[in-house]
Amino acid sequence: MSSSTREEVLRHIDTVGLMQPALHKQTHAPSPTQIDHTLYRAYTRTPHDVGGEPDVPIVWHEKEEEIWELNTFATCECLAWRGVWTAEERRRKQNVDVGQTQYLGLPYYGRWLMTAARILVDKQYVTLTELVNKIDELKQRAKSGQSLGEYSPAKTK
Amino acid sequence: MSNKPVYDRTHHAKMATGIGDPQCFKGKAGNAKFKEGDRVRIKDLPDLFYTRTMTYTRGAVGTIVRLVYESPAAEDEAFGNEDHPEWFYSIVFSQKELWPEYSDSFGNDTLETEIPERYLESA
């Protein structure tokens, strides 16, 4: 019977609600006996599965999308059209593989952008060395006041 | 020249181009194990690395209202495995079945969601 499953599931949802990343408290590799099944499941759950988790209300902010966010979205869609990833691979990377701290801590499109870079490295379209060198080159260019050559759409009236 | 393995990174795109996804998996899941109206319980499979079957549905009983499409389950597709499409079912749960503290004033509320066949057992 599944009443024990329901008990476990509801206990799990209560437990993950306590697992907001806490910067003020360091954790050190615990001994295996300190991690019972409830804690193990809470730690290894997929962080996007937040349904039912107790939490404080989120303040609603009306925010216009920024150019870099739209460019990020378009880049990710192009990666899908060209067969680099499926939507499900993208969601796994941007919502789960990042881990709970980044999932809750980074802006939404920040995770999209990180993930676009990550898939290109993971599938060997670029090497991490090339990516790091490119980021460094652009940082230097920005520091010297030069344009980064980023795309901005023409102004409409 | 490099001896690195070369993956066919575009195999999914080739499958779906001009057809769409999940349409490209139509007819590939075999016979559906369940039908509209069946009462099913959601299995509590390990939720490790990736899933889209919300934990709060697990162990709960709902009613199949529609067979929606055939597709690889999220657990496969999220890692580029498209060889085993399966049936997806739209399932309606009573909110009171999902949340013990759900108010009796809204006792008729329901929640509908799509779940792949591997998670279902007859209830």
- The strand pairing partners of B110, in sequence order, are B94
Q: For A6-52, write each residue's pLDDT tens digit.
A: 998 888 888 887 777 665 555 678 888 888 898 899 889 999 998 88
Task: State whether B77 and A96 contact (CB < 8 Å).
Answer: no
Q: Has A108 been annotated as catalytic?
A: yes
Q: For B20-79, write each residue's pLDDT tens digit.
A: 889 999 999 999 999 999 999 999 999 899 999 999 999 999 999 999 999 999 999 999
Chain B CB within 8 Å of residue A2 CB: yes
Domain positions in chain B = 11-122
The residues in A 25-54 lying below 8 A from B, measured between CB atoms, are 41, 44-46, 49, 51-52
Class in CATH terms, B11-122: mainly beta
- pLDDT reported for residue A25: 53
Residue A142 half-sphere exposure toward CB, CA atoms < 13 A? 8
Q: For A64-119, write each residue's pLDDT tens digit.
A: 999 999 999 999 999 988 888 999 999 999 999 999 888 988 899 999 999 999 99
Is residue B47 within 8 A of residue A4, CB to CB? The reply is: no
CATH architecture of A67-143: Orthogonal Bundle (1.10)
Q: Name which of A13, A15, A46, A126 to mutate to probe chain B: the one with the most chain B Cβ atoms within 10 A of its Cβ.
A: A46
Chain B CB within 8 Å of residue A1 CB: no
Q: For B2-14, write each residue's pLDDT tens digit.
A: 676 666 767 788 8
pLDDT level of residue A1 (50, 70, 90 thresholds): very low
Burial state string for B74-108 with b = 16 or more CB within 10 A and e = fewer than 16: bbbbbebebeebbbbbbbebbebbbbeeeeeeeee
Domain positions in chain A = 3-44, 67-143
- Which H helix or E strand runs over B96? helix B95-98
Is residue B60 within 8 A of residue B93, CB to CB? The reply is: yes
Q: What ipTM score was computed for the predicted complex, to two decimals? A: 0.85
